[in-house]
Amino acid sequence: MKFVIIGGDAAGMSAASRAKRHQPDLDVTVLEKTADVSYSACGMPYNIADPDRSIEDLVVRRAEVFREKQGINLLTGMEATAIDPETRTVDTRDSESQTRQFEYDNLLIATGAAPIRPAVPGIDLPGVMVLKSLAHGRAIKHFIDQWDVKKTVIIGMGYIALEMCEALRERGIDVDMVKPRETFLPWMEDHMAEQVRTEVTSKGVGLYPGHAVEKIEKANGRLAVVCPDLTLEADLVLVAIGVAPASGLAAVAGLQTSVADAIAVDARQRTSVKNIFAAGDCADAFHVVTGQRTWIPLALRANRAGWAVADNVCGIDRRLAGVAGSAVFKVFDFQVARTGLNEAEAREAGLEPASVVIKSRSRAHAHPGASDIWVHMVGDRGSGRLLGVQMVGHDGVAHRLHAPAVALHAHMTVEQFSLSDLAYAPPFGPTWDPMLTAANQLLKKL
């Protein structure tokens, strides 16, 4: 059986490796358009923060290992240009523009997502950069060293934008952040977003939400990001306004797409076309709270979906649970985390959300070293179900979030969650964990 995989990143290489573990004699071919496979993309901001570390440290497994030790036919610099579901073939073009056709019995599309670049003049100027692939990370690091970057403007204020903001500040580089929308973190409860904003500005970062970028131009030997009422100069401009699923190839081949043009897949990661699977940032997923299709491109899901495809291709029936949209990031000394729906998302899904925000402490009464921790919890008035949790604090936020994520998978009510027997010791929290305090408060509103 020929198993062809388009894309050699998290989903693609997870699928390839697992399929070969299941069936060592399986003919597995991976078509990867870049030179890099299997690296920790999420680690790039932290690597860029450290001038003494090589970006190559992020490579988890080198291409030769996949080829020689695992027997995977891994072809880098090989771009898929068309899929024909009728003839079960993939057309490709390599770095020297040579074309070649591959036949498949099962195909996995794992083309990931691509950074969105706004269509403004100057977006292609040297020094205007994005961060998605290892090549991008390499280029940014090289650019900072080569041009001795003193100042960066980041367009966007999402996870990656904020992680990169911290990374650049660690290197002593000044940072301004700009975006069109007025709200700093629109998905986050206002009071908590304000905590994060305060943290970021306290580190000397200029935050300019509510400013649409009109153009980027050269000015004074640097770059200028020009908005109607604001011009920000920089040596480097980082565009981090989000990513879009790289689903063009799939759409042209007639595969069904869904939310945000992601490739629609079922719980087995099968697309609408027989023998074609999709996984990773190019594919959608079902949300555990709403049961509806959603598109939340994150690393764990990509790995897990790759595994599921390998299982199903190899005859092991594997259906994945949905996603809860659990995400966490660090920005300076703050941990910011969310899982499930916020109030607006809950209303959109036709639910009747009620919510609370509580402030608690990261350690027990009178225990030294305690800091503030904020919990926002959303529940459904109709069913009493827990719908989502957001948390912000200096300590203990990231790992606490796992509990409500599991509760969402279990379709727990707020009351059931509030009765959970969570472990307590003074160095790690108050007797009533902040999440339980939030649940107890929320119960009064349901």
What residues contact 432, with CB distance under 8 A and at least 6 apart?
Answer: 440
Residues in 91-150 that interact with a second copy by CB under 8 A: none
| Minimal distance, residue 50 CB to a second copy, in Å | 8
Amino acid, single-letter form, for residue 406? V
* Residue 398 touches a second copy, criterion: CB under 8 A: yes
Q: Which stretch binds a second copy (CB under 8 A): 76-84, 145-153, 191-199, 424-432?
A: 424-432
Which x/- pattern over 292-311 shows residues binding a second copy (rule: CB under 8 A)?
Answer: ------xxxx-xx-------
Question: What whole-number distance in Å separates Cα of residue 74 and Cα of residue 32?
Answer: 8
Q: Which region, judged by CB under 8 A, interacts with a second copy, from 64-72, 88-96, 190-198, 323-331?
A: 323-331
Determine if residue 45 is left, alpha or beta; phi over 0 gives left, psi from -120 to 50 gives alpha, anything else beta: alpha
Using the contact rule CB under 8 A, the part of the chain among 78-86, 146-154, 175-183, 413-421 near a second copy is 413-421
DSSP string, 11-58: HHHHHHHHHHHH-TT-EEEEEESSS--SB-GGGHHHHHT-TTS-GGGG
Stretch that binds a second copy, among 74-82, 169-177, 272-280, 315-323 (CB under 8 A): 315-323
Q: Least distance to a second copy from the beta carbon of 11, Å?
A: 12
Residue type, 139: A
Question: CA–CA distance from 163 to each of 101, 120, 279 (Å)?
Answer: 40, 24, 25
| Opening angle at CA 394, ends 418 and 243, nearest 5 | 90
- 206 and 175 Cβ atoms separated by less than 8 Å: yes
Cα–Cα nearest to 370, from 390, 404, 396, 391: 396
Please, what is the minimum distance in Å from the beta carbon of residue 279 to a second copy? Answer: 14
Nearer to a second copy, 122 or 322 (CB): 322
Catalytic residue among 42, 165, 227, 282: 42
Find all residues with CB under 8 Å of 328, minimum gap 6, and list them: 335, 336, 337, 338, 397, 398, 401
Q: Does 43 bind a second copy (CB under 8 A)?
A: yes
406 lies in the binding site for a second copy (CB under 8 A): yes
Q: Which of 362, 337, 387 is nearest to 188 (CA)?
A: 337
Can you spell out the DSSP letters for 77-144?
SEEEEEEETTTTEEEEEETT--EEEEE-SEEEE---EEE-----TTTTSTTEE--SSHHHHHHHHHHH
The answer to whether 365 contacts a second copy (rule: CB under 8 A) is yes
Does 289 engage in binding with a second copy (CB under 8 A)? no
Find the part of the chain contacting a second copy (CB under 8 A) among 81-89, 169-177, 189-197, 332-340: 332-340
341 near a second copy, rule: CB under 8 A: no
The reply on whether position 288 binds a second copy by CB under 8 A is yes
Letter string b/e over residues 128-165, b meaning 16 or more CB atoms within 10 A of that residue's CB: bbbbbbbebbbebbeebeeeebebbbbbbbbbbbbbbb
Which of 174, 177, 167 is CA-nearest to residue 225? 177
In the set 15, 396, 438, 442, which binds a second copy (CB under 8 A)? 396
User: At closest approach, how far in Å is the CB of 425 from a second copy?
Assistant: 5
Please report how close the Cβ of residue 316 comes to a second copy at its closest, in angstroms: 12
Q: How far is the CB of 87 from a second copy (least distance, A)?
A: 35
Q: Does 51 bind a second copy (CB under 8 A)?
A: no
* Smallest distance from a second copy to CB 53, Å: 8
Question: Out of 2, 27, 46, 261, which residue is the one contacting a second copy (CB under 8 A)?
Answer: 46
Choice from 183, 321, 371, 382 touching a second copy (CB under 8 A): 321
- Note whether 36 and 136 are within 8 A (CB): no
Report residue 81 CA to chain centroid gap. 26
**Contact with a second copy (CB under 8 A) among 11, 312, 429, 443:** 429
Q: How far, in Å, CA of 9 to CA of 299, rounded? A: 10
Q: Of 23, 89, 416, 441, which one interacts with a second copy (CB under 8 A)?
A: 416
335 touches a second copy by CB under 8 A = yes
Specify the DSSP class assigned to residue 67: I
Asked if 42 is an active-site residue, the reply is yes
Q: Nearest distance from residue 251's CB to a second copy, in Å? A: 26
Where on the chain is the footprint of a second copy (CB under 8 A)? 10, 40, 42-43, 46-47, 50, 53, 57-58, 60, 288, 298-301, 303-304, 320-330, 335, 337-339, 364-368, 396, 398-407, 409-410, 412, 416-417, 419-429, 431-433, 435-436
The residues that are catalytic are 42
